Amino acid sequence: MGSFPKTPPDRFKQQASHIVQMKHSATLMNVEVDNWLLCYRLINSKHWEGREDPQERIHREEEFWSVYHRRAQASQPLRLDGNLGLPTSKAAKFSMEFGLDGKMKWRMKPQVGTVLRHVLEEEHLMENRSALAGDSRPKKAAPTASSAAAPLHVRKAERDARLSLLLPAVANRGFADKMLKPIMAGRLLYLEECERHHMNPTPSTFATGHSSLLEVSNKFMTDAELIALTKMLSDRPLEVANLENNSLLTDKALVPFLNELHEFPGCDKLHLLNLGHCESAGPPTAEAVIQLVNRASNLRTLDLSSVLLATRLQLQLCHAIGEHPALQTVSLVETGLGSTCITMDCVNKVLSSKHIEILDLSWNCFNHAVFRSMGERLIENKKLRKFTIDNCAALVIGRDTPVADFIECLVANETLTFLSLSTNRIDFRAALVLEEALDRHKCLRTLHVSENPMGVLGIRSLLRLVSRASNALVHFDFEGCHNGGNDAGGSEKVIGAQVYSYTNPGSRYSLNLARPYHRSLLRELYKCTDRFKLTFDQAFQQLTFSQPPYQHATKDARGMWQVTTSGTLEFLFNVQNQMEMTLTDVADDDFFTCLERHFQLTRFRPDPAKMSSLFSKWKELHGRDMELQAFLNALSKDFNLSVSEISYLCTHNKNFATRVMRTMLPTIVLDRRNRYLSCMNFPKISEFYSSWVHMEALLQLNIQNPSGHYKLNLASSSDFAVAQRLILLDRWEGLVNRRNGRIDISARNNGSHLRNEYHQGKALYPRISSIFEFDYMSSYRPPMDALPLSEALWSDLMIELYNSKCRQKDRIRVLSAISNLIFITSKLFRQLVGYFRDSINRMEAMLIFFLRIVDIHNSKVFLCRFTSEAEVARLRSRIGYTTLFPFIQPENAKFDLDLNYHDQRLCGAMLVDLCYKEKAGNIKDAEYIDTTGQVKVLTMGIPRSWASGMPVGGRFKCRYVCSPEDRKLDARKKFAETHGYLKCGHIKDKDVEWWTGLTEPPSDVLDLLEFFVSRVSDMDEAFRAIDGGAALQESGAGSAAANMSSNNEITLREFEAGVKAMGCEKFKGADENQRIASIFRYLDPGGEGSVSLREWQSLNQLFKEFVLSIKEFVQFLMFAFGEFLEDAWEVLDADGSGGLTEDEWFEALESIGYFGPARVVFALLDGTDDGDISWEEFKVLENYKPEVKKKMSNVKAEVEEPV
């Protein structure tokens, strides 16, 4: 009884099993994430075409250059013995062959020779080689104007004549003409053109004739080079024309190239045209592209990135693209679309295509109307799979980003698998729209939203989105999104920004339904009604609409909420009813289970099927510290994670493990087991200590006894979690109070248990990074069967507390951590107060243990230790005027009430009501100051109407007195039950420790009491001595003291005579009688002219305070120095003078760490009233030792706090 419970063996087994299970889960997660990431990379890796073997490239280029340099060998006879006139040692080792499908292929073949020889070998036509013997090299003819301008068929005939000299006279001449003539002809014309422009040729596969793919991207081509390649297009079909990133090309070369493609009969074989980033291309090039697109019926890919389109050509091009029968991939990046009246038509034309699967419209400029139209067209488009619109959102002052209109339409799309919205000014509002729109998208797998000012709020929406099993999203990129406006205050209020909290959606909203963000927020709230199983009337309260009547949203066939798109909607969204239904089986004081249930209901738990994709992102972000921190901050607010998942985050980024723990600790259910296991993730014990300051608020939070003072930095995840938990507890306790029909005793009449809140100058729910400071005082009260801690265990605790080397505030923290496990009595708490020197620490101890005191009806026993009126006023402000109201013993209590506060008005009303129930004159020194600052004279006394309600505003000061005969204990207990939530119906008069503090009576009363303490055993003996003097006569005091007969009442004359007869000289002087009369008036609060034995008990109450103070001091000495008082005297009498003056006494007690009422002890010991204490007088304390003595360790604690 009164001790800590022991842990059974089964509990240890359960803990060990949990640890093994946690380690196993962490290992499985590691494997799953690695496998998922590997599969994703393999599936999404680029399919590279077979690359040319280095040896093949060498031999291909050898053959090309052998032809190019043939003019250097003009003096030598041309020998076509398989080497085209080259020496055998320099013959090319490249082999050309033709397949059955007529397509040219090339490969390595040792000792085969040139293309021509290989063909002749294949056709077995070697017998005709002699026809080409001798010098048969073609002569170069000077170009003429007529030949340059000749028709195409004339130019082809001339080229064939020159080429015929290089071809063998073979029997199968048609085969050679068909296969070899185009290759040799194209190469010949290309080389001649290069020679004419005085430039070196480039041996690309297309130039050498080995490929029909013109792949010259990133070559920095000039116009001359492209013109040379254009000469090869006459007879050769071109399948791919990739001129990407050749910014030097202009219309001079591009237009002839495109026209040649357009005129060639094999134009329909072209399937890729890429002019991306050819910035020098102008309108003529665009016109040529339009013509080519209209004719190239098999064109699959068109890339015009960075090709600026004239306004007059934009609609023509978009119409050609939209009507093309085969285009599948289109890129119109930075082509100048936007800011014109035809932009919407252009976009609609492109999106109306029935064949385009990949579309890129990035780096153009679109407004709200274009984006809205784009989204509507996308709903109708059933073919588009990949859509990129990076950096397209126009800046519109005072409005949301335009891309939000497009995002909202994605809810009805069914085809997209890839979407890129990077650099579109997507903030946390548009991110919420994105989350709501893609929540049920079954196709989208990849989302890119890089370089958007989302901030933590926006990233949180993305993480919730990717963690849901209702959509197909598995990968997203948010690089550069860690910065953004997460503050819903300041300038954000101008446009009505409101922040949606998934964990705590209950709030007051004012929504402009013309904004996509507000519509999405409203849809999320309707989803909450499904999640919490609430009816619309339960959830949406105090609803007003600017365009009545308001019709609640309905679901369509896809399960999407359809909300109105105009008007202003204001309402209070309330989820308290669901909380009440969910927590019906939770005990009123089981705060831990309450929060656990609430977080299970409201916090987000990632779906197991999406866990790998979520944590693979963490692995991808390795080395990007800003994104990593934003990732953690986003997870820490809304998510519930396990210890094994936190362990994975720490393991796979060990350099970030400390930050992970600092940030992610709030996501774990913090029972003792999880708290210990989670802290094991710190790589080093030193990092745990350095991180303690960041996690201290959460780790030290005693959720079962949350009362105390809090100063929280909401930028810290742990501090924010503490604020969140306390606010949730505040709502839960308010719900419990309403359910039990309790009176609201909050300061602002709002049912809140938060007091003295300071958050940006006013009481608000914490949403932004700032300091939130407040006191929390719970409605919890000890049960009637609560057992206080045993005195032996409490003594051990006090010894450890005294011997501790830590700072006083650290001792407070330790006591707070165990406060929910113990109950104490008023006297034990009074003893605890004496261990703290500073007033702030005594008050902190009061806040922590006030609701753990089982005999709170004896609160005056410890309240009298707070001697300063300012200290008592501060305590009332922090704990609550009504909570700290002295229900059972209000005698001599002073009040200064600010009637602007609800609890102080209740306090004043109780005083007035109690006054009229006990005795009308019990309220003394009453003073009322109205709201204007003027003192109102209460000539008719205190209005009786104030008992039912005090006036609002102003101040009321008074002091309450009551004689024992007028005391109405039942009325006081009734107030304690209704206003103090105390169960005290069983309390009787004998159960109450009637007490009087040393600061309550006048100083003369204390002087008289000091005189009595050293001369009588109790105050009843002093009463009998004054009332008749029977006891004194028996002891031989003389007849002078026995001047009256005993009648159990003392008059003023009897009191004066009795005090003088006992030899008291403390009041000696001219005003002796007046001082004694003032003492008598204190003892006669009813003013009857006599002091009864019951009224005399007020001195006995003071006497008990004296005796208890002395006993506590003796017990403290035993704690500090052991059983023998001689050891304590040696320390107190540091100078060895054998005596202590009053000043030396106070200094000595402070040096040993005693902060109790030292004056009382000195008055007892100084029996001679000479102002000095000797060792003989000090030995009087032996009489106040406890009966059961326990040997204490002789350890002297240092009083000075360590740095």
pLDDT single digits (tens) 1049-1079:
888 888 888 888 888 877 888 888 888 888 8
Classify burial at 592, counting beta carbons within 10 Å of its beta carbon; exposed 0-12, middle 13-18, buried 19 or more: middle
Condensed to tens digits (0 to 9), the pLDDT of residues 939-964 reads 788 999 999 999 999 999 999 999 88
Bridge partners for 96 per DSSP: 106
In sequence order, the 6+-apart residues with CB closer than 8 A to the CB of 1144 are none
864-891: buried (b, 16+ CB within 10 Å) or exposed (e) per residue?
bbbeeeebbebbbbbbbbbbbbbbbbbb
Contact yes or no for 413/377 (Cβ under 8 A): no
Q: Are strands 507-512 and 568-573 parallel, antiparallel or unpaired?
A: antiparallel
Start-end of H helices in 410-482: 428-437, 455-466
- What is the structure's pLDDT at 101? 45
Q: Is the dihedral of CA 71, 74, 76, 77 positive or negative?
A: positive
Q: Does the pLDDT of residue 739 top 60, yes or no?
A: yes
DSSP 8-state symbol, 1123: S
Percent of the chain with pLDDT over 90: 36
- What is the structure's pLDDT at 583? 82
Q: Is the dihedral of CA 688, 689, 694, 698 positive or negative?
A: positive
Report residue 1090: phi and psi, to 5°: -145, 155
Start-end of H helices in 197-282: 223-230, 251-263
Condensed to tens digits (0 to 9), the pLDDT of residues 230-241 reads 888 876 778 899
The residue among 1132, 1119, 1138, 1126 whose CA lies nearest residue 1197 is: 1119
DSSP 8-state symbol, 542: E
Q: How far apart are CA 405 and CA 399, in angstroms?
A: 11
- What is the structure's pLDDT at 775? 93
* End-to-end alpha carbon distance in the chain: 39
Mean pLDDT of 854-880: 90
Residue type, 748: R
Q: 523: which 2 tokens?
A: 């849809």
Residue type, 840: I
Contact yes or no for 315/342 (Cβ under 8 A): yes
- What is the structure's pLDDT at 1136? 81
Q: Which residue has the higher pLDDT, 152 or 271?
A: 271
- The H helix count followed by the E strand count for the chain is 44, 28
Q: 271: which 2 tokens?
A: 């399937």
Q: Does the N-terminal peptide bond of residue 1202 adopt cis geometry, omega within 30 degrees of 0?
A: no
Q: Does domain 1102-1184 fall into CATH 3.90.1720.10? A: no
Q: 383: which 2 tokens?
A: 């073919």
Condensed to tens digits (0 to 9), the pLDDT of residues 598-653 reads 888 888 899 988 988 899 999 888 888 889 999 998 998 889 898 889 998 998 88
Q: Does the pLDDT of residue 877 top 70, yes or no?
A: yes
Start-end of H helices in 1089-1157: 1097-1121, 1125-1132, 1142-1151
Report residue 898: phi and psi, to 5°: -95, 105
The residue among 449, 614, 793 whose CA lies nearest residue 37 is: 614
Phi-psi region of 427 (alpha: psi -120 to 50; beta: other; left: phi over 0): beta
- What is the structure's pLDDT at 1045? 53
Mean pLDDT of 296-308: 93
170 pLDDT band, cuts 50/70/90, is: very low
Residue type, 888: I
Which DSSP string do the residues of 805-869 spell out, in sequence order? Answer: -S-HHHHHHHHHHHGGG--B-HHHHHHHHTT--SHHHHHHHHHHHGGGBTTGGGTHHHHTT---H
Mean pLDDT of 137-143: 43
Q: How far is CA 621 from CA 616, 628, 711, in A?
A: 9, 6, 34
Start-end of H helices in 919-968: none
Q: How far is CA 335 from CA 277, 279, 306, in A?
A: 10, 10, 5
Contact yes or no for 346/382 (Cβ under 8 A): no
Q: Which residue has the higher pLDDT, 156 or 1126?
A: 1126
- What is the structure's pLDDT at 156? 54
Q: How far apart are CA 459 and CA 480, in angstroms?
A: 11
Contact yes or no for 714/770 (Cβ under 8 A): yes
Condensed to tens digits (0 to 9), the pLDDT of residues 537-592 reads 989 999 999 998 999 999 888 888 999 999 999 999 988 777 777 788 889 889 99
- What is the structure's pLDDT at 497? 58
Cα pseudo-dihedral 667, 672, 675, 676, rounded to 10? -160
DSSP 8-state symbol, 335: S
Q: How far apart are CA 1030 and CA 477, in angstroms?
A: 98
- What is the structure's pLDDT at 1028? 64
Q: Which residue has the higher pLDDT, 25 or 92?
A: 25
Q: How far apart are CA 814 and CA 17, in angstroms?
A: 29
- What is the structure's pLDDT at 125? 37
Q: How far apart are CA 736 and CA 778, in angstroms?
A: 11
The residue among 854, 841, 843, 906 whose CA lies nearest residue 879 is: 843
Start-end of H helices in 1015-1085: 1019-1026, 1030-1034, 1052-1061, 1072-1083
How many Cβ atoms sit within 10 Å of the Cβ of residue 952?
11
CATH of segment(s) 212-365: 3.80.10.10
pTM: 0.75
Mean pLDDT of 411-440: 93
Helix, strand, coil tally for the chain in percent (to 5): 50, 10, 40
Q: How far apart are CA 115 and CA 436, in angstroms?
A: 63
DSSP 8-state symbol, 24: H
Q: Does the pLDDT of residue 76 top 50, yes or no?
A: no
Mean pLDDT of 832-861: 90
In sequence order, the 6+-apart residues with CB closer than 8 A to the CB of 642 are 22, 25, 668
- Number of residues that make up the chain: 1203
Q: Does the pLDDT of residue 675 top 50, yes or no?
A: yes
At residue 564, the 3 state secondary structure works out as: coil
**Lowest-pLDDT range of 181-195, 811-825, 1045-1059:** 181-195
CA angle, residues 968, 970, 974, in degrees to nearest 5: 120
Q: How far apart are CA 882 and CA 839, in angstroms?
A: 22
How many Cβ atoms sit within 10 Å of the Cβ of residue 168?
20
389 pLDDT band, cuts 50/70/90, is: very high
Mean pLDDT of 990-1004: 85
Q: Which long-range contacts (CB under 8 A, 24 or more apart) does 942-945 make?
A: 942/912, 942/915, 943/912, 944/912, 944/916
Q: How far apart are CA 68 and CA 72, in angstroms?
A: 9
At residue 498, the 3 state secondary structure works out as: coil
Report residue 937: phi and psi, to 5°: -80, 125
Contact yes or no for 960/924 (Cβ under 8 A): yes
Q: Does the pLDDT of residue 1171 top 70, yes or no?
A: yes
Q: If you average pLDDT over every residue of the chain, what do you get?
A: 81
Q: Which residue has the higher pLDDT, 140 or 441?
A: 441
Largest distance between two CA atoms of the chain: 170
Q: Is the dihedral of CA 262, 266, 267, 268 positive or negative?
A: positive
Contact yes or no for 232/189 (Cβ under 8 A): yes
Q: Does the pLDDT of residue 904 top 90, yes or no?
A: yes
Q: Where are the domains of the chain?
A: 54-196, 212-365, 506-574, 582-776, 885-991, 1003-1095, 1102-1184
In sequence order, the 6+-apart residues with CB closer than 8 A to the CB of 684 are none
The residue among 1048, 1052, 1019, 1021 whose CA lies nearest residue 1034 is: 1021
Contact yes or no for 866/834 (Cβ under 8 A): no
Q: How far apart are CA 1038 and CA 1022, in angstroms?
A: 16
Q: Does the pLDDT of residue 18 top 80, yes or no?
A: no
